[in-house]
Amino acid sequence: MPVITLPDGAQRAFDAPVTGAELAASIGPGLAKAALALKVDGELRDLEHRLEGEHRVEIVTPKHPDALELLRHDAAHILAEAVQELYPGTQVTFGPATEDGFYYDFARDEPFTPEDLERIEARMHEIVERNEAIAREVWDRDEAIRWFADHGEKYKAEHIESLPREEAISVYRQGEWLDLCLGPHLPSTGRLGHAFKLLRVSGAYWRGDAKNQQLQRIYGTAFFDDKALKEHLLRMEEAAKRDHRRLGRELDLFHQQEEAVGSTFWHPAGWTLWRTVEAYMRRRLEAGGYIEVKTPQLYDRSLWEASGHWEKFRENMFIAESEDRVLAVKPMNCPGHVQVFRQGIKSYRDLPLRLAEFGSCHRNEPSGALHGLMRVRACPQDDAHIFCTEEQIVSETKIFCDLLLAIYRDFGFDEVAVKFSDRPAKRAGDDATWDRAEQALMDATRQAGLDFTLNPGEGAFYGPKLEFVLKDAIGRDWQCGTLQVDFVLPERLNAAYVGEDGDKHRPVMLHRAILGSFERFLAILIENYAGKFPLWLAPRQVAVATITNDADGYAQEVAAAFQAAGLRTQIDLRTEKINAKVRDLSLAKLPVIAVVGRREAEQRQVALRRLGGQTQEVLALDEAVSRLADEARPPA
C-alpha cells in the first residue's frame, strides 16, 4: 500500500500501487494536465513509474527546477529521430541536455549543412505534432547488443558492452524509433512544444577521445515558451558580439595556435591587462595577510602518490621521464604548499598561515573540450592555502568571503551566488573525516551569513567546497572562486604544528581561489565589458590624436604628461582626418581620446572624448592629466 508524502507535508495513501500520472490525477485535473515527470525520494522518474511503499514525491511541472533539463533531453531524442528519418544510415551516439540547451553526436560521412539543419528542425516540429508516446523498456543485455549491432548502431552496441553486467539496459521508444537511455522522459513528443531551435554543427570525438572517430555534433536549445526562447536567442546574439576570441583578435590581446594547443600567446596589450589584474590581486592579498611563495613545476611521482593525486587525477596530468624517474607537471599547487609549510617547526602561534602563489598549473584536458581562454591546458591561478586550526575555520572562512566579494565588486560583479558541494563518489579519506569537514564548512558558511544552494556530489576529492558563481552583464553565470576544507592532505603529507599543549597536531588546510584560472577570468572580463574596460583595467587608457600636423609637437608633450602620471598612452600622428582617427580609436575600444589641434596647443588644452559618448570636454592640460590619473587609479 503506497503512502506518498508531498512537498507540503500532506500524505496520500492508496490501496494498490499507483503511477505518477494517477497520483497527479488524484490531486487535481490541473496538475494531471501539467505533470511531466516525478521526483521520487530525490530521483527523477517517468510519469508512468509505479509507486509502492513509502516515498517523498514531487510532481514535476514546467515550473519545477528540473523541468527544463527534462524538456531538453527530450529535444535531443526528437532531434536524433528526425536525423535518422531524413538521413538513413546515420548512427546516433550520445545526446544529453546541457546547461543552456542540448546536443546529439552523429556518425555520418557527409557533413551536415545549414540547409540540413533547417530540414531537421522542420521534421522535429512534425514529430512533435505526431505526439508519439514515449515509453521505457528494459531489455536483456545480450539482446540489446545484438539489436543495435544488427541495425548498424555499432556505437550503441559498444557502449552497452562497456556497461557493468549488473546494470539494467534501459531503452526508450517513441513511435517507431528507439534509443538506449537511462531517462526519464516526458510522456509524449507533443509535450516538447515548438519553442526550440537548432543552432550549429561542430566536430566531436567518440567518448571525447581525439584518438577515436570524429563525429558531428548538432547543438540546439529548447524552452517551454516562445518568449523565453526569443530572449535566449537575443542573449546568444549579444554573447557572439562579446566572444573573447573575436575581441582578442580585434583588440590584439592574444592568440592561440595548433603548435601550442590549450595555451595562449599574450600580445603586449593582453599582457598589460594580465599584469594589471595580477598587480591588483597581489596588493589585495598582501593587505589580507597572505605571504607569496613560488613552488616548482615538476614533482616526482612519489609526491603525487602520497597526496592521492596519482590515483584520483592521473588521467589529467602531463607526465615526463628523466634518468629513470617519472615526473609530473603540477596540475595544482597544494602539495607544493604543504612542502613549504613543513619546513621548520610550526607553532599554533604561526596559525593561520596564508600561503599564496600565482602558480602555473597544467592539466591534460581533452582537445575537444578546449575553448579559447575558457578551457585551456595551461592555467595559472590566484591560488592560496590557509593552514589553520579546526577552531579557526569559521573566522578564516568569513575573512575570505569578505575579501572575495569585495574583489568581485571591484571588477564589476555585484551579483554572486554560492553553491555548497559535498563529498563526491571518487574521494580520499573516510566518512568520519568527511563528516567533520562538511559540518565545519557548513557551520562556517552559515556564520559568514552566506545564502547557498546544495550541489550534491561535486566536492573536491579531498574535501567539501564552496563555489562562487558570478553573473555577468548579459545574465550569464560563471563559476570562479572556490573554498575547500581539507582534513585529508595534511594527514597524507604529514603536515603538523606544535599546539599550546606541546603536542603535535594536524592543521586544517583551506584551499581557496578568487579568480581561479587567470585565462578564464580574463575571458570573463573581456566578455562582461565587451572589450570596453573601465579606465583602470584598460590596456591602453588614453590616445592623443592630432587634428593637424601643426599640433604634433604639442601632442607629444601631452602624451608625455599622461605617461608621467602613470596613464597607459598612445599617440596618433597620422595624416588622416580627425573623424577617421576617432573612428579607428573607438573601434579599438580606447576609453579616452585626447584631441589636440592648433587652438588646443596655443591654449594648452585638450578636448577629451569618452568611448561611446557623443560630446567632448575641453580642459586645461594639467586638469585633464589630474582627473584621468584619479579615474585610472586601481581600487584600493
Based on the residue annotation, tell me whether 511 is a catalytic residue of this protein: yes
pLDDT class of 351 with cuts at 50, 70, 90: very high
Percent of the chain's residues with pLDDT above 70? 100
| Residue range 546-601, pLDDT digits in tens | 999 999 999 999 999 999 999 999 999 999 999 999 999 999 999 999 999 999 99
The DSSP secondary structure of 111-150, one letter per residue, reads PP-HHHHHHHHHHHHHHHHHT-BEEEEEE-HHHHHHHHHH
Name the E strands within 521-567: 542-546
Half-sphere exposure of 345 (CA within 13 A, CB side): 6
Three-state SS string over 149-180 comes to: HHCCCHHHHHHHHHCCCCCCEEEEEECCEEEE
Catalytic residue among 511, 512, 520, 540: 511
Residue 209 has pLDDT above 80, yes or no: no
Residue 367 has pLDDT above 80, yes or no: no
Catalytic residue among 73, 185, 191, 334: 334
Catalytic residue among 385, 505, 540, 589: 385
| Residue range 245-277, pLDDT digits in tens | 999 999 999 999 999 999 999 999 999 999 999
| Residue range 32-58, pLDDT digits in tens | 999 999 999 989 999 999 999 899 989
| Residue range 211-243, pLDDT digits in tens | 889 999 999 999 999 999 999 999 999 999 999
How confident is the model over 79-93, as a mean pLDDT? 96
How confident is the model over 203-218, as a mean pLDDT? 87
Residue 511 has pLDDT above 90, yes or no: yes
pLDDT class of 426 with cuts at 50, 70, 90: confident
- Degrees, nearest 5: CA angle 93-99-102: 35
pLDDT at 99: 86
- Indicate the pairing of strand 616-620 with strand 605-610: antiparallel
Catalytic residue among 381, 484, 541, 605: 381
Q: From CA 252, how far away is CA 274, in angstroms rounded?
A: 13
- Average pLDDT of the chain is 93
Least confident of 5-14, 347-356, 377-386, 584-593: 5-14
Catalytic residue among 39, 197, 465, 609: 465
Residue 210 has pLDDT above 90, yes or no: no
Name the E strands within 422-553: 453-454, 465-471, 477-486, 497-498, 504-505, 508-517, 542-546
Based on the residue annotation, tell me whether 211 is a catalytic residue of this protein: no
Catalytic residue among 46, 74, 116, 383: 383
309 against 496, higher pLDDT: 496
Tell me 565's DSSP state: T
pTM: 0.81
How confident is the model over 183-204, as a mean pLDDT? 94
The set of cell numbers assigned to 370 is 578546449
The DSSP secondary structure of 511-524, one letter per residue, reads EEEEEEEHHHHHHH
pLDDT at 278: 97
| Residue range 118-133, pLDDT digits in tens | 999 999 999 999 999 9
φ, ψ of residue 506 to 5 degrees: the values are -85, 135
Residue 366 has pLDDT above 90, yes or no: no
Written as one letter, the residue type at 87 is Y
pLDDT at 634: 95
How confident is the model over 188-194, as a mean pLDDT? 95
How confident is the model over 181-206, as a mean pLDDT? 93
The DSSP secondary structure of 45-78, one letter per residue, reads E-TTPEE-SEEEEEEE-TTSTTHHHHHHHHHHHH
Contact 381, 333 (CB under 8 A): yes
How confident is the model over 86-90, as a mean pLDDT? 95
Based on the residue annotation, tell me whether 363 is a catalytic residue of this protein: yes
pLDDT at 592: 97
Based on the residue annotation, tell me whether 334 is a catalytic residue of this protein: yes
Contact 79, 117 (CB under 8 A): no
Largest distance between two CA atoms of the chain: 97
Residue 146 has pLDDT above 90, yes or no: yes
pLDDT at 369: 79
Based on the residue annotation, tell me whether 381 is a catalytic residue of this protein: yes
Residue 458 has pLDDT above 80, yes or no: yes
Contact 408, 382 (CB under 8 A): no
